[in-house]
Structures are given as C-alpha cells and as structure tokens.
A and B are shown apart, each in its own frame.
Chain A
Amino acid sequence: MTLRMYLHKPKQIFICQVDLGGNQPVYPQYAIAIKNISLGTIGILKEGMTLLLGTAPGKDDYGRIRFKHMSPDFPTNVIHVSRFSHGTNDGEGHLVENSYITILEEFRVWAKVPRMIGAVVYKDGEYWGNVNSKYPPPCANAGTGVAGTIGGNSKLSVTFYMGNSFKWDAGVGVAGGYMLPLTQWQWEIGDGTLTSGTLTSQSITVDFPAGFRYVYLKAWGETYPAPDAAVPNVHIQSVPVFARNPAADLSTTAFQIRSHTHTFVGQEITAEFYQPLLRTDYPDGAMMMLWDDAISYDPTQRYHMLFIGWHNVDAATITAEETSVLHSTTLTFLDVGRRLELLPGFSQVIEYNANPTTWSMTRFPTLFYYFWFILFWHSTAIDVTEFLRESPDIMTMEFAILGSERGNLYDQCQSIAEKVRPDHHFTCHHLGILHIVRDPMIQDYSARLDVELDNWTENDWTSISFPYLRPSRLYQIRTMAIISRKTYIIVNGKNELEIIACRVPGEAPGQGMELLEVNEGITLNQTQLNMTEGNRYARLNSRYGMFNITIPYSRINYLYDISRMQWVKLTISGSNITERELAATFNNKRGICHEMSIQYDYTDTGLVRTATFTWEMETWGMPAETEVLWPDVPTPATLEARANARI
C-alpha cells in the first residue's frame, strides 16, 4: 500500500495590471478594467478560475476572487469577476492603479453571492432572472478527478463519460422531471490524445503525458429566445487529471494522515507534513488528490482514488527536543460537500409559474430543480464535480412554493432533502460526487431495495459495541405535510396548500417521554406519509442504538461508500453472541452506516489502517394513523367546492 498525494501547484496562466484610469475605485465591484497583459491571452481563461489581486504577479495581498468572463461590452480590456466589497480576504478585493492581477489554472468551491437591490435580485452579482429562470443552463457531468502513475508508454489512460449530464426542458413534463439528455456537448482535453471516441462522443478515452491538467466538458442547454439567441446557454465542468511520472515525481508520500472521517456531508482529512510547502507554491485553499497506488489502476474506474478536496486550514507546531528543534505542519482538507458547509446561503423562495420573469419563479417546479438551483446559482460546486440524478421522488415531486432559510449551502440542501417524505439526504461520495439519496430506513419497507454494499461477518470485524434500549424515547409523533403539487388550491379566493397530517403510534400515546412534532414536509399522499412516519417512530424508538464496529481497512469492499446509503449486512453468530441475545438476533441484519473514521497507524514496519463505523440496524414500523385536521371538510376538493359555493 502506498498512499500518494498530489498537492496542486496552480499554474499562473494570465497576468495583467489594474487600470483605474486615474479614478478612485468603486465598491462593491464586479468589473475590473485591465491593461498590460504580460502573460497569457484572454482566450485561455475559463469561468471559475481563481484570480489573485496583489502588489506583484502571483501575490494575493490585495484579495482573492473568482474570474467569470470578459465584459460583453469591452471584451478585451474589462473582466467580470465575482462581485466583491473592499477588503483582502477571500471574495474581497482592494483595487490599486497598476497593481497586479494573476489568474491561476485552478477551480475551487466558491459561493456565488446574490446581489439584492430592493426586490430585484441579480444572481452571482449580475445575472437577472427573466431569461435565466425560463432557460436555465444545463448540467455538465463529466465525472470525477483522477490521479495515477504513467504506464509503460509514459502515458496515463483515462476514460470519461458524460451520460449523466442533462438539460432542462419544460416540454418534457413532470414525468420526465423536466429534463432531457444533452444534445450538444464538447470535450476539451488539453495535452491529451484521444484513443477512443471523438470530442463529441458520450464516452472518450484519452492518453495523457506526465503532469497536471484540467479536462473540460461543455454542455449546451436550450437556446435562448431573441434577442439572446446568439448567447450560448452553457455549463462547463472541469475535471482534474494528474499523471505521475516516478522519474520526476510531483506527488508526495512524505506525510502522515492524522484523521480521516467520512459522513453523509463528505470527507475531512488532516495530514501532517515534514517538508517545505510554501504558500507561494501551494496557495491557501489549493486542491489535493489522494490515492492508493497499490490498487490497480483502471482507466474506466476511480477505485484507487480516496479523496479529492481543497486545503482549508493549517496548524503548525515547533518543539524543542533534547537533540534538536522539530517542527511540522498539519493541513486539513475538505471535499466539496464539506466545503459547502462553510459557504453562506441566503434566504430565498421559488414559486411555480408557467411563464417566470423573476428569480423567485420557475417553470420547473421539482425538488431536483430546487437543489440544482441552490447549487448552480449559489456555488461553483457543480462546476467542479458531478451532481447525479437518482431518486425518482426528487425528480418528480413538485412544489407550488418552496423556500430556504439563511444558513450554509449544505444545510440549505439538506434541510429540503430531509423534508421530503420519505426522507432524503444530500450526500457526498468519497470521489466528491453529490447525491440526493432516499433514506432506506424511512421509506416503505416493501420498496426498500435489497442491494447490499457490503456484508460483514466474523471474518471481517474485530470489535462491536452497541446499546440495547428497551424503554421508548418518544410517546408520539405528530406530523403535518403538504401534498406535492405545483398549483395551489383556491379557498375563499386565496391560494392555499393542501395539508395532511398523521400521528403515530395512534391516538393513545406510548410510554416514551417526548412528543415529536414534525411540521414541515412534502409528500405524495396520505398513505406515503403514514408509512414514513410509522417508520420514523420505529427508528427513533429502536431497541438497538448505534453500533460501533471496528474493521481492518483491507476487509472493506472497495466499492463501499457511505454516501450511497445502501445496506451493509452484519452477522454475529455462535459463541460471539452476547449474554442476553438470541442466536438469530444478528444474522445477516441489514443496516446503514452513518460515519466512517479511519485510523492510520504509522509504525517502523509499516502502515496499518483500521476503520470504525457507526452502523444503524434496520427498523420499520406500523403505519401512522391519519389525523383529520378539519373533520367536516374531508378533502380539499370538497373544501374548495364548499368554499366557492359559500356553504
């Protein structure tokens, strides 16, 4: 086993100077006039690249922002950037005549901060709602980053696939999730050589020489109507590719991983370094890729990749020992999901409208659109990774109006996901892929898929601990939810949402101490709501608490990933059955893992990895009892009819 790490040393591809024309700078600002281009050309710039403002080329002492595009009006001497106020932190800038602008070939996860002028909103500082809410950009899904060692031909072969890409199309209707596969796309492969397919093929295989580069997939969405028909409606995803040459190695093994956790949110890795990693070479926030060189490389897969993320914080230590003074620096890296947890999300609301004219309207009223809307218009997350369409519930459940409170971008997505019945989770794969997956513990028992990711028997685990909790914690759950639909019902001339309710275990409460009231949810119908709330009651009163399971890392299925929320079966049998358990209690029991923590033990004779999982045993319960909110008005249709007839 050889863990290799590539710390991205972003290349400076464009250098110029700030041209204030003798005027004082105005803040906030999203356009900067430039002059004296001393490196690169405008044509090589890509939206999302990191832009440094500084006193000299390569410096960021005047701030760090995101390049967007050249000005449509001044395409050679004005650049548009992420809108910034006066300052020198990330997302801020200090404009000084003749100071330097350096653009790096590098993509990060940034927040796209909306600009609000009264009721008028400009997304990402400058995009207005009329056209963009009618004709949203498509979603280019080009796969995840890859790193590996070149083969005998001095090349690294990589296969890319764009079949998960999609574009919005209102004509498809809700059955198709208002989405269609792309009809136009283009690969850009840098210094690679195609060995299979063309630059417009769905799947391509490319040979890369040693070094680092980005591969780009450009996707075209619906054409804008006149007068914007000539403006391309595109989205680009970048994919980092690093080909390691052992003879001139740009990767490192001179680190030790101090902590490594993976939850539904994503991964966090802390590694200690003992060699110079100057900030001028490896800028704050730069990308990192980690892979296991001992796992055989497959061009079509990414099994060997362990992590793709970005530097977040450092911690340095200096210690005086008897024989020397020793120092080291610990860097913490976060993947895309964890990055979203640190970025601001602003309150917003979207309402269905067949002919939208503002950002608060949409003609694609599905939950999946809402997730895409948060991610695309408020972050660069899906510019740097895949966002997959999986759960049919999410793609076809409609809303009349949906909003988010202020929070971080991850929580804005997760808070909506967990309001769906059955509950969903916004998760991040260890390769950085963003998923919205159904919680199998909450969904209807008969609809649960019997797909297992791993099966842990006595040959796999080395220790298990678990609590048994006979007393209930909850005596009742009372739930209300709105019925999924894109239109309101009209009551007394007013727009209303159809609300249903249920209670579990029924009108007679149980013996737990607490009442749980779940007042926000969206569901297809009463049957589904009753089913999910019954399962929720069973889960929250589960006899067995969370299991802590320790497993040698080599015993984990390499396909395993927490973000998929798929079953992991557990067996405890024979003499390992504990004192009060029946023999069959833990035979092939299904459950899901909530967290994986990997411990790295570096010894004189080798590295040993041990994984600890938090595992939850499967539960299911009796359906909840329907609660009639307005006993004399049993259905919305009747309610509406009576109201309209003034009964």
Chain B
Amino acid sequence: MSDYRAKTGINQTLVSLTRIPLQPTSPGVMATRRTIMSDGSILDQGLYVEWNYNVIEDAAQLLLVLTPLGLHTAKSAAVTIYTRDDLYGYQRYNGVAHRPPASWENYFARGVTIRIINLELST
C-alpha cells in the first residue's frame, strides 16, 4: 500500500507529515540530468519526483491533495515529503513543490502531475 505524505517546511519529522488523502502514483525519485562520467560512473543532478493522478474529480478533491503541500494558497512551497526513491523504498525528502498547471478536460482534471523539485534527504 502506498504511503505518500507531506507537510510544509523542511526537515519535518515523519510523524508530523500528513498522509495525502488521495494517494498518487509515482515512478520514484528521478534526476533532472544523469551524467555519465568519463570513468563510466553516474552522477545524478537535480533530483525530483512527480506525483501523478489520472483524474481529479473536482475542486474539492484537488484541494485535499494540494493542502498538505501548501499549494492551495501558494504556487510553490518548501515541503518535506515522504515518497518512493529510485529503489522504491520510502524516504523523507526536503524539496519545493509546484502547483500543477490547469488540465480540466471532459468534466475532470486529467493527467494532473504535482512536481516536487530540488530534493535532498531530510535530516
């Protein structure tokens, strides 16, 4: 079972995070740029994660999702999230959450993606 959580502010404790009422799907933490170094090793830069929703049914439901991230009042917010990393285990990260662009289509908001960028492990 998924367990995505969030709270505004960085380095929030796990117990203080709010479980997202409508759980998203996510591929896990990804890198903005993956650089292959000249010795063949990998350097990942600019970590981010996307929380995806196929459909958000109405404004009230969107509010439920955005509120723990502080995005109901701001277009971006510093947050602590609990999300799957690239090994699909849950970790706490600090980052900046972005309110998704409008995507209303055929009675619903479709393909809603909340992006949280500048990820660093919380302390």
Residues of A within 8 A of B (CB): 1-2, 294, 457-464, 552, 554-555, 572, 576, 601, 603-608
Chain B: CB-nearest residue to A576: B38
Asked whether, in the complex, the Cβ of B46 is within 8 Å of the Cβ of A607, the reply is yes
Of B30, B35, B36, B118, the residue contacting A1 (CB under 8 A) is: B118
Does B4 belong to the interface (CB within 8 Å)? no
Residues in chain B near residue A603, CB distance under 8 A = 32, 46
Q: A1-B118, A294-B120, A555-B43 are in contact. Are A605 and B38 (CB under 8 A)?
A: no
CA distance A572 to B36 in the complex (A): 15
Q: Which residue of the partner chain, among B36, B39, B41, B118, contacts A606 with CB atoms under 8 Å?
A: B118
5 contacts between A and B (CB under 8 A): A460-B37, A601-B33, A603-B46, A604-B115, A606-B117
Beyond A458-B38, A608-B33, 19 additional pairs, beta carbon < 8 A: A458-B37, A459-B41, A461-B37, A461-B38, A462-B36, A462-B37, A464-B38, A552-B43, A555-B43, A576-B39, A603-B46, A605-B30, A605-B115, A606-B45, A606-B46, A606-B118, A607-B118, A608-B32, A608-B46
- A458 adjacent to B39 (CB under 8 Å): yes
Q: Does A2 lie within 8 Å of B118, measured CB to CB? A: yes
Cβ-closest 6 pairs across A and B? A606-B46, A458-B39, A606-B32, A605-B48, A458-B38, A605-B32
Docked-complex contact B117 and A605, CB < 8 angstroms: yes
Question: Please, which residues of chain A bring their CB within 8 A of the CB of B38?
Answer: 458-459, 461-464, 572, 576
Q: Which residue of B lies closest to A456 (CB)?
A: B38
Nearest residue, chain B, Cβ from A574: B39
Shortest beta-carbon distance, A215 to chain B, in Å?
29
The reply on B47 being an interface residue by CB < 8 A is yes
B interface residues, Cβ below 8 angstroms from A: 30, 32-33, 35-41, 43, 45-48, 115, 117-118, 120
Once the chains bind, are B43 and A554 in contact (CB under 8 Å)?
yes
With beta carbons under 8 angstroms apart, the residue of B30, B39, B120 that contacts A459 is B39
A457 engages B39 (CB within 8 Å): yes
Q: Contacts A2-B118, A605-B117, A606-B32: A552 and B45 contacting too (C-beta < 8 A)?
A: yes
Across the interface, name the chain B residue whose C-beta is closest to A463.
Answer: B38
CA distance A462 to B33 in the complex (A): 13
CB closest residue in chain B, given A606: B46
Residues of A within 8 A of B41 (CB): 459
Say how far B41's CB is from chain A's closest CB, in angstroms: 6
**In the complex, are the beta carbons of B48 and A606 less than 8 A apart?**
yes
Residue among B30, B35, B47, B48 making CB contact with A462, cutoff 8 Å = B35
Whole-angstrom distance between the Cβ of B113 and the nearest chain A Cβ: 10
Closest to B95 in A: A606
B76 to chain A, nearest CB (A): 10
Residues of B within 8 A of A554 (CB): 43, 45
Residue contact B46 to A605, C-beta cutoff 8 Å: yes
Chain B residues near A462: list those with CB within 8 A: 35-38
**Chain A residues near B30 (CB-CB < 8 A):** 605
Contact residues in A for B37 (Cβ distance below 8 Å): 458-462
Nearest Cβ distance between residue A245 and chain B, in whole angstroms? 14
| A459, B43: Cα distance in complex, Å | 9
Q: State whether A606 and B47 are in contact (beta carbons under 8 Å apart), knowing that A461-B37, A462-B37 are contacts in the complex.
A: yes
A144 to B62, CA, bound (A): 48
Nearest CB of chain A from residue B49's CB, rounded to whole Å? 9
Q: How far is the CB of B54 from chain A (nearest CB, A)?
A: 20
Contact A552 B46 (CB under 8 A): no
Bound complex: CA A583 to CA B41 (Å): 21
- Report how far A196 CA is from B40 CA in the complex, Å: 49
Contact residues in B for A607 (Cβ distance below 8 Å) = 32, 46, 118
Question: Chain B residue with minimal CB distance to A457?
Answer: B39
A506 to chain B, nearest CB (A): 41
**Out of B35, B39, B115, B118, which one reaches A552, CB within 8 Å?**
B35
Q: Is the CB of B39 within 8 A of A608?
A: no
Q: How far is the CA of A551 from the CA of B43 in the complex (A)?
A: 11
A462 to B43, CA, bound (A): 10
Nearest A residue to B94 via CB reads A294
Provide the bound-state CA to CA distance between A112 and B1, in Å: 71
With both beta carbons as reference points, the residue of chain B lying nearest to A2 in the complex is identified as B118
In the bound complex, how far is the Cα of B40 from the Cα of A464, in angstroms? 15
Tell me, in angstroms, the Cα distance from A457 to B38 when the chains sit together: 9
B8 to chain A, nearest CB (A): 12
**A457: shortest Cβ distance to chain B, in Å?**
7
Report the bound CA distance from A605 to B95 in whole Å.
11
Chain A residues near B45: list those with CB within 8 A: 552, 554, 606, 608
Residues of A within 8 A of B120 (CB): 294
- Chain A nearest CB, measured from B28 CB (Å): 13
What residue in chain A is nearest B40 (Cβ atoms)? A458
The interface residues of chain B lying within 8 Å CB-to-CB of A605 are 30, 32, 46, 48, 115, 117
Chain A residues contacting B117 (CB-CB under 8 Å) are: 604-606
Q: Which residues of A contact B33 (CB under 8 A)?
A: 601, 608
For B35, list chain A residues within 8 Å (CB): 462, 552
Task: Return A555 CB to nearest CB of chain B, in Å.
Answer: 7
List the A side residues contacting B47 at CB < 8 Å. Answer: 606
* Complex Cα gap A463–B37 (Å): 9
Tell me the nearest residue of chain A to B33, going by C-beta.
A608
B83 CB to closest chain A CB, in angstroms?
Answer: 14
Q: How far is the CA of A294 from the CA of B120 in the complex (A)?
A: 9
Assembly CA distance A552 to B47 (angstroms): 14
Interface core residue of A457, A462, A605, A608 (most chain B CB under 10 Å):
A605
Least CB distance from B52 to A in Å reads 14
- In the bound complex, residues from chain A placing their C-beta under 8 Å from that of B40 are 458
CB distance from B60 to the nearest CB of A (A): 27
Complex Cα gap A185–B43 (Å) = 49
Cα distance, A633 to B88, chains bound together (Å): 85
The smallest beta-carbon distance between B119 and chain A, in angstroms, is: 8
**Shortest distance between the CB of A180 and any CB in chain B (Å):** 47
Closest residue on chain B to residue A603 by CB atoms: B32
Give the residue among A294, A603, A606 with the most B Cβ atoms within 10 A: A606
Q: Which residues of B contact A555 (CB under 8 A)?
A: 43
- Of chain A, the residue at the smallest CB distance from B38 is A458
Residues of A within 8 A of B43 (CB): 552, 554-555
With a cutoff of 8 Å between Cβ atoms, the chain B residues found around residue A458 in the complex are 37-40
